[in-house]
């Protein structure tokens, strides 16, 4: 019996020792390895929600995880100013611009496009929100997609962090801090945002290979940073107890894996041709009728035969001339 | 596996495995590689106050933060990418053109990837100075 117990402990410990690594998130980085981008330009996100100020808040926070991953991120405020000067600050307009053009404008190696698809906020006085957004990294050299991911996120502000507790048990650690950072920026949960930026570790959050300023193991992002773990362990004690007792049903993050990437470039504007409903066309019709009237006014003196007075005079003059010529010849 | 473990060595093995598991789970201690502190939050305020305050007022508020961050970051060589440029841009907004150019040059020195873009910003700066 004792031997059996020991063996069980052995197996349990071996199983625990393997908890550091996980193969939950796998992505094909062959194109990324070929390109080896050094600098990333973050474009203002395409916003399919009604909140128009979202992209500024997004831009304020997103450079942190990318820089911590070891890339050069273009300064957000400078870029914003420059784009406004160039008249390309509108995210919809930026989406139409060829990706390769950003090499000429900024000398950026890669461009990060974000598409905020959905944000559902409950009524005032209630906590929580649902956020869905996708991110795609394009190379400005080849114009190809380097990395793509879609996130759906149940955000719960306040003293208890539902998602935190959830992920502590069920989901992979990679990219969760990033997702939470973006989510807190989008929901404008400022205290939480401050806490994350100052206390969180973003080294392993962005599920990308590390950049030139970070010489770490490329697969490091699969591991769980200890600081992050302890942070959530502190925050979600209450929630954890609830989960263990099975009081509450909570929905974990759903990360869509191996989704066939849909590049932003392929989206076409399927609007009506602006010329088809041109109001100027309606104005042309009265203009034409006026024209006709003018022509009519000029030809008012026409005879019933359709001959104008001037023509008749000319004809009479010609006839007189001919008669005179004949008289001269007869003499 | 059970038949391989003898009675006496079992206990020792179990303890060893327990230690191993603890070591493996501990992982490494991760710290942010740059000094960010309050910058993203303050930049958020800077954007939010647009329309309520003048450009100079907003810029001077954010300048205090970037100044502190750069001072703290330079000690540990932890100035995040783009922060010199942001600081320089705020200096430009508060009409301190000479300081602004020196910080733009610092950015290029620290992050050579930014050269092309920063040169454009410097050209704009010199236009404002009237050079």
pLDDT digits (tens, 9 = 90+) for B59-105: 999 999 899 989 988 988 788 899 999 999 999 999 999 999 999 99
Q: How far apart are the first and last CA of chain B?
A: 81
Q: Smallest Cα–Cα separation from A184: which of A60, A41, A43?
A: A60
- In this complex, the residue of B41, B111, B114 whose CB is nearest that of residue A193 is B41
Q: What is the dihedral of CA A153, A158, A159, A164, to 10 degrees?
A: 10
Mean pLDDT of all residues in A84-91? 85
DSSP letter at B80?
Answer: P
pLDDT band at A45 (very low <50, low <70, confident <90, very high): confident
More confident residue, A223 or B130: B130
Least confident of A33-47, B15-29, B86-100: B15-29
Mean pLDDT of all residues in A133-140? 86
DSSP letter at A109?
Answer: S
Cβ of residue B97 closer than 8 Å to a chain A Cβ: no
Q: What is the mean pLDDT of chain B?
A: 80
Asked if residues B66 and B107 have their Cβ atoms less than 8 Å apart, the reply is no
Q: What is the pLDDT of residue B52?
A: 87
Q: What is the pLDDT of residue A186?
A: 62
Mean pLDDT of all residues in A199-217? 60
Residue A118 has pLDDT above 70, yes or no: yes
Mean pLDDT of all residues in B9-26? 53
Cβ of residue A44 closer than 8 Å to a chain B Cβ: no
Asked if residues A176 and A235 have their Cβ atoms less than 8 Å apart, the reply is no
Q: What is the pLDDT of residue A67?
A: 85
CA B104 to chain centre: 16
Q: What is the pLDDT of residue A329?
A: 83
Q: What is the pLDDT of residue A212?
A: 78
A15-24, A206-215, B60-69, B72-81: range with highest mean pLDDT:
B60-69
Chain A residues inside the 8 Å CB shell of B37:
197-198
Q: What is the mean pLDDT of chain A?
A: 63
- In this complex, the residue of A106, A202, A224 whose CB is nearest that of residue B117 is A106
Mean pLDDT of all residues in A45-49? 78
Q: What is the pLDDT of residue B92?
A: 93
- In this complex, the residue of B18, B37, B120 whose CB is nearest that of residue A9 is B18
More confident residue, A170 or A280: A280
| Complex ipTM value | 0.78
Give the whole-number percent of chain A exceeding pLDDT 70. 39
Residue A110 has pLDDT above 90, yes or no: yes
Q: Smallest Cα–Cα separation from A85: which of B123, B16, B18?
A: B123
More confident residue, A276 or B116: B116
Least confident of A26-35, A305-314, B6-15, B84-93: B6-15
Asked if residues A9 and B20 have their Cβ atoms less than 8 Å apart, the reply is no
- B54 torsion bin: left (phi>0), alpha (psi -120 to 50), beta (else): beta
- Compute CA distances A8 → A15, A19, A159, B17, B24, whole Å: 11, 17, 38, 11, 19
Q: What is the pLDDT of residue B78?
A: 81
DSSP letter at B53?
Answer: B
Residue A79 has pLDDT above 70, yes or no: yes
Mean pLDDT of all residues in B24-43? 64
Mean pLDDT of all residues in A204-220? 60
Q: What is the pLDDT of residue A325?
A: 87
Cβ of residue A72 closer than 8 Å to a chain B Cβ: yes
Cβ of residue B32 closer than 8 Å to a chain A Cβ: yes
Instruction: Report the distance separating Cα A1 and Cα A285, nearest Å.
Output: 101
Q: Smallest Cα–Cα separation from A67: which of A233, A203, A236?
A: A203
CA B129 to chain centre: 29
Asked if residues A98 and A143 have their Cβ atoms less than 8 Å apart, the reply is yes
Long-range CB contacts (within 8 A, 24+) of A3-9:
A3/B2, A3/B5, A3/B6, A3/B7, A3/B10, A4/B2, A6/B5, A6/B10, A6/B11, A6/B13, A6/B14, A7/B1, A7/B2, A7/B5, A7/B10, A9/B14, A9/B17, A9/B18
Cβ of residue A324 closer than 8 Å to a chain B Cβ: no
A58-72, A316-330, B65-79, B114-128: range with highest mean pLDDT:
B114-128
Q: What is the pLDDT of residue A287?
A: 44
Phi, psi angle pair for A117, to nearest 5°: -85, -35
More confident residue, B95 or A250: B95
- A210 torsion bin: left (phi>0), alpha (psi -120 to 50), beta (else): beta
A93-102, A116-125, B93-102: range with highest mean pLDDT:
B93-102
A50-59, A68-77, A241-250, A302-311: range with highest mean pLDDT:
A68-77
Asked if residues B106 and B113 have their Cβ atoms less than 8 Å apart, the reply is no
Q: What is the pLDDT of residue B29?
A: 42
Least confident of A60-64, B9-13, B34-38, B100-104: B9-13
Query: Hey, is B112 helix, strand or coil?
Result: helix
Asked if residues A135 and A260 have their Cβ atoms less than 8 Å apart, the reply is no
CB contact under 8 Å between A3 and B10, yes or no, is yes
Least confident of A60-64, A72-76, A309-313: A309-313
Which residue of B lies nearest to A102 if distances are taken between CA atoms?
B117
Please provide the size of chain B in residues.
Answer: 131
Buried b (16+ CB within 10 A) or exposed e, B19-47: eebeebbebeebebbbbbbebbbbbbebb
Query: Hey, is A72 helix, strand or coil?
Result: strand
CB contact under 8 Å between B113 and A39, yes or no, is yes
Residue A252 has pLDDT above 70, yes or no: no
Upper half-sphere CA count for residue A302 (Cβ side, 13 Å): 10
Q: What is the pLDDT of residue A96?
A: 84
Chain A residues inside the 8 Å CB shell of B115:
107
């Amino acid at each position: 019996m004792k031997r059996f117990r020991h063996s069980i402990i052995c197996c349990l410990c071996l199983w625990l020792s393997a908890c550091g690594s996980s193969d939950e998130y796998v992505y094909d980085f062959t194109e990324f390895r070929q390109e080896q981008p050094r600098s990333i330009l973050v474009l203002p996100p395409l916003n399919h929600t009604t909140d128009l100020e979202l992209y500024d808040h997004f831009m304020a926070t997103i450079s942190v995880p990318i820089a911590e991953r070891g890339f050069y991120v273009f300064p957000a405020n400078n870029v914003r100013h420059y784009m406004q000067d160039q008249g390309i600050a509108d995210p919809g307009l930026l989406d139409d611009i060829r990706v390769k053009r950003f090499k000429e404008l900024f000398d950026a190696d890669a461009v990060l496009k974000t598409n905020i698809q959905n944000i559902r906020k409950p009524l005032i006085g209630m906590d929580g929100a649902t956020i869905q957004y996708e991110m795609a990294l394009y190379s400005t050299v080849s114009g190809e997609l380097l990395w793509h991911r879609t996130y759906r996120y149940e955000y719960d502000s306040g003293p208890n962090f539902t998602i935190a507790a959830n992920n502590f048990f069920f989901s992979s650690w990679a990219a969760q801090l990033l997702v939470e950072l973006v989510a807190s920026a989008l929901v404008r949960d400022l205290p939480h945002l401050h806490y994350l930026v100052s206390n969180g570790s973003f080294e392993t959050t962005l599920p990308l290979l590390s950049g030139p300023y970070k010489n770490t193991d490329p697969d490091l992002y699969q591991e769980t940073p200890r600081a992050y773990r302890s942070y959530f362990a502190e925050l979600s004690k209450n929630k954890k107890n609830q989960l263990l007792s099975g009081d509450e049903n909570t929905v974990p993050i759903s990360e869509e894996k191996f989704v066939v990437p849909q590049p932003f470039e392929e989206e076409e504007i399927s609007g009506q041709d602006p010329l088809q409903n041109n109001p100027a066309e309606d104005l042309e019709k009265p203009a034409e009728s006026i024209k006709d009237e003018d022509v009519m006014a000029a030809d008012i003196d026409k005879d019933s035969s359709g001959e104008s007075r001037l023509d008749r005079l000319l004809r009479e003059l010609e006839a007189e001339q001919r008669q005179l010529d004949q008289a001269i010849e007869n003499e | 596996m059970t038949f391989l473990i003898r009675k006496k060595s079992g206990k020792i093995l179990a303890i060893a495995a327990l230690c191993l598991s603890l070591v493996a789970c501990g992982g490494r201690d991760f710290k942010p590689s740059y000094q960010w502190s309050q910058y993203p939050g303050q930049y958020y305020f800077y954007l939010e106050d647009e329309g309520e305050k003048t450009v100079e007022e907003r810029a001077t508020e954010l300048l205090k933060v970037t100044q502190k961050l750069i001072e703290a970051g330079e000690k540990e060589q932890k100035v995040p990418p783009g922060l010199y440029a942001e600081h320089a841009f705020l200096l430009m907004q508060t009409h301190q053109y000479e300081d602004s150019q020196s910080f733009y040059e610092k950015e290029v020195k620290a992050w050579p990837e930014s050269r092309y873009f920063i040169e454009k910003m410097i050209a704009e700066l010199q236009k404002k100075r009237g050079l």
